[in-house]
Structure 1
Amino acid sequence: MKRGNIPKFGRTMDRRSAMHKALATALIEHGRIKTTEAKGKALVRFMSKLTRQAKKETISSKRELAKVLGSKAITQLTTIMPKLSLKGGCVRLIRLGQRKSDAASMVYVELIENSAK
């Protein structure tokens, strides 16, 4: 059984974490972003951790979010997440097909906000 195999995207750990942070910030600010399927799947895993922290609404959880996100993104995430009725799965992938130039599978990654109470 394979465990702990995460995609590395041909990057060092620092650059990979910077990519995750940049994608997460863009997703929170815009609500929906277009990216490759591999990056989208990695972003869904990364965002699930952030959404759990944002739902807690404690000072320590906001400090944990501050390690990853900017202040504008933190305020947006902490205002959206407590209203959602879902416990998890607040990020959705929508497949778009292949990019013409290199045939990479493209997806939309979006926050699910329509399930708000």
Structure 2
Amino acid sequence: MESGKAELHIIEQWQWADGQQIWLDTSKMPLRDAKGNVFGILLVTKDITKRQMAQEELKQQKQNLEEALAELQLMLWKSQILDALLKREKLIPRILSQLLLKLVKISRK
């Protein structure tokens, strides 16, 4: 306030003597006389604790949803990989039989 300019919507956390914490939205405006000299300060403060708590809750929910989405994406990728492997699995018996035939031929030599 030393600058003589208004300071609007300063968000601060305060703690009461009993330990309870609250959030305040404070605005400070200089009061001037006819010559422009500051003779006082108009202080307006609003308790925004509920709003801050709601914002924190929304932030936490957003984080939880982002984590759940990432987990679902991972599960989808795993499912797609498994599906691709199962489709290829139909080829595995044929590949194994060809490999066994080659091994038998080698062992007979």
Coarse TM-score class (shorter-chain normalised): under 0.3
Which gives a bigger RCO, structure 1 or 2 (Cα 8 Å, sep 6+)? Answer: 1
Instruction: Give the TM-score taking structure 1 as reference length.
Output: 0.23
- TM-score normalized by the length of structure 2: 0.24
Larger radius of gyration: 2
